[in-house]
Amino acid sequence: MTTSFGAANTAIARDPNVHIATSFNGFKNTSNSLFLSKRMHVLPSFSASAECPTSIIRAVSTPVKPDTSAEPKRSKVEIIKEHSNYIRYPLNEELSTDAPNINEAATQLIKFHGSYQQYNRDERGARSYSFMLRTKNPCGKVSNKLYTVMDDLADEFGIGTLRLTTRQTFQLHGVLKKDLKTVMNTIIKNMGSTLGACGDLNRNVLAPAAPYARTEYLFAQKTAENIAALLTPQSGFYYDMWVDGEKIMSAEPPEVVKARNDNSHGTNFPDSPEPIYGTQFLPRKFKVAVTVPTDNSVDIFTNDVGVVVVSDADGEPQGFNIYVGGGMGRTHRLETTFARLAEPLGYVPKEDILYVVKAIVVTQRENGRRDDRKYSRMKYLLSSWGIEKFRTVVEQYYGRKFEPCRQLPEWEFKSYLGWHEQGDGGLFCGLHVDNGRVKGTMKKTLREIIEKYNLNVRITPNQNIILCDIRKAWKRQITTALAQGGLLQPSYVEPLNLTAMSCPALPLCPLAITEAERGIPDILKRVRAVFEKVGLKYGESVVIRVTGCPNGCARPYMAELGLVGDGPNSYQIWLGGTPNQTSLAKPFKDKVKLHDLEKVLEPLFYYWKHKRLSKESFGDFTIRMGTEKLQMLLDKWEGVPQGASRLNLNLFADKETYEAIDSLARLQDKSPHQLAMEVIRKFVASHQNGKIE
């Protein structure tokens, strides 16, 4: 049976041109020979826009295949994959039983099909099992037909909601086992897919969701789609399971087929139904994002591979900067696990991008750890090897040397909310969706507009949605309909909500330690109250992300203020990310109880207001001050000095006005006071700017 272990280890040992540093970071010593004797720690920080080290261009050799006489230690999941007949058995048998759930092996395998088994943790007694389905939508693209199908499936087979994810996909919760095949079959036959949305393989490939008719944006999106196609499983297990072997796929670009089949540098398993993945697939999940210079809407440095389009002076794409080794997941109280930013690997010409991505995937396939899944992401391989050794091995599978990365401008976070010109005569409208949960009146309104105007949509990496290809004549009526459904233009949305994210967490996620999605609305209201108490202006904001566990699905380690669940109603506080998502936050406090949140936030925000530099963000302020100084300020905090807060006037003189504002506020999950203040501030700002009509 075809396996996939350790090819490059032997190649490195035999290559006299490869220098292996003696001081690289390893794991704590154990009796297992796979571990290294030195303790792992996070590598020194670097500028996200720094150039790669220069290197001499020379021919490189094909890696030597390994000596397989010694069987390496493997995790239980690796053994399940090996005996699964390419992700089929025993899932195929488990799906045919009358039980509401599937066994442990099948639970691992169904992830590759894009589904997780879950149960409602709010309920006591016997577990009520259901399944979460996650789609795969490269670039976040969703056709009009697929959107309406997903909307229908949510009502008929799910819990009546759609969840937009941080990787530009849908999640459909609450599907019963008996309905799985019907739901999967329907998605596939409407040109959707869930294949590879979960599991140990390449996940959904991110790209800027904005439907600009600009050369570099179109090129980035096409590249993302080609990478997704290149790394899609080929053995047919998905279609065998859900559409009885009928393979419903559009024709692949010839450059994708050519790159997948190329084995000139020992990347493939010859005659295998999975030429890139083999029987074992990858050690863990693998994430790729593609973007253009300045546009960090995709959190480029949090991915295993970040691909950035590089164009010439005329705007014509010439190649790509490649970044490697990002990842968010970690384990509490285990310092050898950590969040990490991707670092520069090199520049490649545009025609080589598929071969380079394939070479990186194969390097991880052959060398990523398969004995302990906590250390199986590619970021740990980068941290133990170092970038130079990693680059050398990738070059062997690529067959060429990397050029130095090209210099790039500063990154910006771009939300694409509101109305924008596409550049082809049409408009697009970005809509904020709190925590990505499409439900209730909002869900009904979106469906009606998308159906009436036959619109395609895009899902953003910030859990929002974009309506595309809108005629200018439709703008007014669509704006009105959206507002009536609670989908307001960004200037009318609470600023803290615009950049906030959370994972679903309780009640369905089995990994959640505490609340995230259900808890963040109240947390944001409390943060706003602290802002008002310490005198911060309404328009000021910080990037807040909340997760129910340390796995980091909502990328909390990039937030200016990250709350990571570490116990029931308890969070670890992270500080120091930046608004443009280029710096990693640092842990500040553990075990902060939810009811004690103001005791931490009040002094932090007060001193940010009074001690910050000009235009200094909250994240930059906390990094400049440092953990020890901030803790000292907390220790001596005695409350907001008298007169520091702004006036908080009584807004409602009669019950009727209050009740009218309250009903509107409920549609937006706000308090009446919050909504009234937003309207007043907007009116005052418009009047001051001479915009009142």
Catalytic (active-site) positions: 134, 203, 285, 287, 503, 509, 549, 553
Q: Is 132 strand, coil or helix?
A: strand
Residue 170 pairs in a beta bridge with 164
Whether the bond between 283 and the residue before it is cis, its omega within 30 degrees of 0, is no
Is there a contact between 369 and 34 (Cβ–Cβ < 8 Å)? yes
Is there a contact between 256 and 230 (Cβ–Cβ < 8 Å)? yes
Which whole-number Å values give the CA distances from 415 to 208, 292, 429, 431, 546, in the listed order? 10, 14, 11, 9, 18
Is there a contact between 328 and 351 (Cβ–Cβ < 8 Å)? no
Distance CA 674, CA 227 (A): 44
Write the burial class of residue 312 (CB in 10 Å: 0-12 exposed, 13-18 middle, 19+ buried): exposed
Distance CA 660, CA 679 (A): 14
Distance CA 444, CA 618 (A): 37
Provide the sign of the torsion angle of the four alpha carbons 488, 492, 493, 495, taken in this order: positive
Distance CA 495, CA 263 (A): 51
Q: In the 3-class helix/strand/coil scheme, how is 38-84 assigned residue by residue?
A: CCCCCCCCCCCCCCCCCCCCCCCCCCCCCCCCCCCCCCHHHHHHHCC
CA-closest candidate to residue 367, choices 344, 399, 392, 335:
392
Distance CA 290, CA 308 (A): 6
Instruction: Report residue 642: phi and psi, to 5°.
Output: -60, 135
Provide the sign of the torsion angle of the four alpha carbons 648, 654, 655, 661, taken in this order: negative
Q: Is 386 strand, coil or helix?
A: coil
The token duo for 294 is 């300045």
Is there a contact between 429 and 485 (Cβ–Cβ < 8 Å)? no
Residue with tokens 């990994």: 511
Which whole-number Å values give the CA distances from 513 to 74, 173, 539, 565, 592, in the listed order? 28, 19, 33, 6, 14
Q: Spell out the residues 6+ positions from residue 316 whose beta carbon is closer than 8 angstroms to its own.
A: 215
